[in-house]
Amino acid sequence: MLQNNPLLAKLKKQLNSKLLRVEGIVKSSEKGFGFLEINAQKSYFIPRSFMKKVMNGDRISAVIQTNKDREIACPEKLIEPSLKRFVGRIQKKNNRLLIMPDNPWLKTAIPCDAGFNVKHCFQEGDWTVAKIRHHPLNGDNAFYAELTEFITKKEDNLAPWWVTLARYNLEREEPNAPIPKEMLNEKLKRKDLTNIPFITIDSAHTEDMDDALYIEDIGDDELKLFIAISDPTSYIETNSILDQIAAERSFTNYLPGFNVSMLPRQLSEDICSLRQGQRRPALVCCVTISKDGTPSQSVEFFAAWIKSKARLVYSSVSDWLESDKSSPWKPESQEIANQICLLHRFYLARSNWRQTHALLFQEQPDFRFVINKQGEILDIITEHRRIANKIIEESMILANICAAQALSKRFGFGIYNVHDGFDKVHANQASEILANHGIIVDPVILSTLDGFRNLRRKLDCQSNQFLANRIRRFQSFSEIRTTPGPHCGLGLEAYATWTSPIRKYGDMINHRLIKSMIKGETALHPKEELTTYMVERRRKNRMAGRDIGEWLYSRFLQKDIGSNRFFKAEVLDVYRHGMRVRLQENGAVAFIPAELIYSIRENLICKHDTGSILVKGQLLYQVTDLIDVTITEIRMDTRTIIARPAFSSKK
């Protein structure tokens, strides 16, 4: 009788309209309950019974109820699930399959079954890709997942690579596509420079050599530099299958231990690689440099044939230059020796120019994993940027500056790397922090390229890099755009890379634009959505490299758990529950929980906003401090390294 009563329906509607509804993100706790975070200042408690309907990271709407003076969030509607496609490990219970998501915040296995197209017979511990098919807030009784892809078995030592690549939906191998047998007919005249002694300088293991250099002393303290870049677009037609594959991959993915090539290796490491003694097509930038490093305005771009006369290695060239030419390694001829010496002279001039007119890179070492074919870590090698690396770096930066200027002048578009420095909001925040440390900078000026350059130079001159570290978190991220913009990180008005076309699809696009410029033709504006995609692809590649690195570090440092071995570490950041440090010896990042910093927790204050840790009001640690730590625990399920400080070593 009451089922279709209009008065009852009206009353129900009125009651519902008076309920407080909120929208937020679910955050779970280790004790089973959770919170619905509305913003940084406001959250609501979610009891254990209600947490069974949601997952950590779900965006939901909830009804707020009051129980014993406590506001409780009652999940009502799923807006966006935290899990859609994910990776995890198989568990078996009573002949049923479950999947445990590889996520530190998700501790409950989800019932699952293999999808129709998946033929693998899953065993305990197997790695797999899955998709959530049922969710309690969508009217289902419980969570349920479908297994969509088998990744690898439990015992596979290469699991860090295969699982991580599957997580980000990235390729495991080079492209499987037909290799062009002949060059395209581009109606492009090529100068024959095969008799000129171009040289390449790369790592000993590099096969995809995409740049070669030749330099002349033309008198009046001027140098003329020829920068030859490999030309894969002379083989790859626009919109061809291979071009589409390169666009989809966007970059060669450099991972610990190996890389996944953007192009088929036969192209990148053979046909287009600037190998010694091989005639290769190239695009060349010719630029004259004055004594103080200033490039001339008359930069020339042209197509050419070149033949590298020497394949040199960074370490050997650096040894020779840094030892004042007394190292065991010697250039094979005086002609090659003269090239190295002139390039060194070029580097010194250009480095001084950038220090005055732009910005120099911060000196940071690279850490290279030495891994055998079975995926075992043999060693971690620290590689510093030495003089030969810097010679090539300065040459490529100059070439990219020249391309940015030429493309801007000719077309007004291209593929540009842009770094805006500080936006208006973050400029205000940075200005306030600087003022607290006695540096007064107008936030409006700070938002300009000149303002950014001047601040960086001032901070780089300080003996302590604490303030530079604090300010860095307010900087914007670099972007890829189709129109010119400043690159504040380099201190340049515009920057367009074209020097790695066998590794970056954006460089291939700029190659084609440069060719149109050489031929005097018009060109099409690159699509905006392409740059958005490339930024996202670059982000995924970097995250994959970071995740694999964390996995490998966790394996490598197992032997040091509980030992008396001390590692020198730099404090990277401070959080409410501890601090993050980087081991200087090998680059591993570890976490030090608050309880391991000081035993009496109420006397310890960890301040993220100031990057400092205080005990009884006295400063104990701050960001950029160097401290000694030991490894106390490694949590392989989350690939987290836990360290403990040696208090007596505090600097």
Residue-range domains of the chain with CATH: 21-80 (2.40.50.140), 85-156 (2.40.50.640), 190-417+488-548 (no CATH), 420-476 (no CATH), 561-649 (2.40.50.140)
Please check the confidence at residue 242 and state whether its pLDDT lies above 90.
Answer: yes
- pLDDT for 423 beyond 80: yes
Q: Is the pLDDT of residue 650 over 50?
A: no
What percentage of the chain reaches a pLDDT higher than 70? Answer: 96
- pLDDT tier for residue 4 given thresholds of 50, 70 and 90: low
**Per-residue confidence (pLDDT) for residue 123, from 0 to 100:** 94
Catalytic residue among 214, 235, 314, 621: 314
Any long-range contacts for 167-172 (C-beta under 8 Å, 24+ apart)? 167/86, 167/87, 167/102, 167/544, 167/547, 168/540, 168/543, 168/544, 169/85, 169/540, 170/253, 170/260, 170/540, 170/541, 170/544, 171/249, 171/253, 171/260, 172/260
Q: Which pLDDT score is estimated for 129?
A: 97
8 Å CB contact between 293 and 284:
no
Condensed to tens digits (0 to 9), the pLDDT of residues 379-406 reads 999 999 999 999 999 999 999 999 999 9
Q: Report the chain's C-alpha Rg in angstroms.
A: 29
pLDDT given for residue 10 in this prediction: 52
The CA–CA distances, whole Å, from 254 to 259, 321, 479, 545, 622 equal 4, 29, 19, 7, 33
Q: Does residue 526 surpass a pLDDT of 60?
A: yes
pLDDT of residue 7: 52
pLDDT band at 40 (very low <50, low <70, confident <90, very high): confident
DSSP for 472-487?
A: HTTSPPPEEESS---B
- Arithmetic mean of pLDDT, 252-271: 95
Query: What is the pLDDT at residue 440?
Result: 93
Position 574, amino acid: V
The pTM assigned to this predicted structure is: 0.91
With a cut of 90, say whether residue 29 has pLDDT above it.
no
Q: Which of 249, 453, 503, 537 is catalytic?
A: 503
CA 246 to CA 272: how far, in whole Å? 15
Is 316 a residue whose pLDDT tops 50? yes
Measured distance CA(143)–CA(110) in Å, rounded: 6
Q: Residue 15's pLDDT is what? A: 46
End-to-end, the C-alpha distance of the chain in Å comes to 80
| Percent of the chain whose pLDDT exceeds 90 | 88
Residue predicted with more confidence, 611 or 67: 611
208 carries an active-site annotation: yes
pLDDT score of 252 more than 80: yes
Is the pLDDT assigned to residue 6 strictly greater than 90? Answer: no
Active site residue 144: no
Position 95 confidence tier, pLDDT thresholds 50, 70, 90? confident
Long-range interactions of 613-617: CB distance < 8 A, separation 24+: 613/574, 613/579
Does position 651 have pLDDT exceeding 50, yes or no?
A: no
- The reply to whether 628 belongs to the active site is no
State the helix-helix crossing angle for 505-519 and 241-249, rounded to 10 degrees. Answer: 130
Catalytic residue, chosen from 58, 102, 126, 208, is 208
Is the pLDDT confidence value at 17 over 90?
no
Mean pLDDT over the full length of the chain: 93
**Residue burial 337-357, b: 16+ Cβ < 10 Å; e: rest:** eebbbbbbbbbebbbebbeee
**pLDDT tens across 575-597, in order?**
999 999 999 999 999 999 999 99
State yes or no: pLDDT of 234 exceeds 90: yes
Sheet containing strand 618-622, edge to edge, reads 604-607, 612-615, 618-622
What is d(CA 500, CA 206) in angstroms, rounded to the nearest whole number? 13
| For range 521-528, the mean pLDDT | 96
Which one-letter amino acid corresponds to residue 398? L
In angstroms, the CA 25 to CA 33 distance is: 14
Instruction: Give the model confidence (pLDDT) of 441-478 as tens digits.
Output: 999 999 999 999 999 999 988 888 899 999 999 999 99
The Cα–Cα gap between 11 and 225 comes to 83
At position 393, the amino acid (one-letter code) is E
Out of 58, 211, 231, 319, which one is annotated catalytic? 211
Based on the residue annotation, tell me whether 202 is a catalytic residue of this protein.
yes
pLDDT at 649: 37
The pLDDT of residue 13 is 53
Is residue 211 part of the annotated active site? The answer reads: yes
Q: Is the pLDDT of residue 14 over 60?
A: no
Among residues 202, 420, 507, 560, which one is catalytic? 202
DSSP conformational letter for 361: P
pLDDT, one tens digit per residue, over 293-312 is: 999 999 999 999 999 999 99
Q: Which of 58, 102, 210, 547 is catalytic?
A: 210
Token pair in block for residue 270: 């053979």
Average pLDDT over residues 617-636: 96
Tokens 């922090």, residue located? 433
The region that residue 458 occupies, defined by phi over 0 for left and psi between -120 and 50 for alpha, beta otherwise, is alpha
Q: Which pLDDT value is given to residue 104?
A: 87
Whole-number pLDDT of residue 107: 86
Confidence of residue 170 (pLDDT cuts 50, 70, 90): very high
pLDDT for res 424:
87
5 band by pLDDT with thresholds 50, 70 and 90 = low
- Name the band, by pLDDT with cuts 50, 70 and 90, for residue 364: confident
Whether 379 is catalytic = no
Q: Is the pLDDT of residue 11 over 90?
A: no
The pLDDT value recorded for residue 162 is: 97
Q: What pLDDT is stored for residue 588 in this prediction?
A: 98
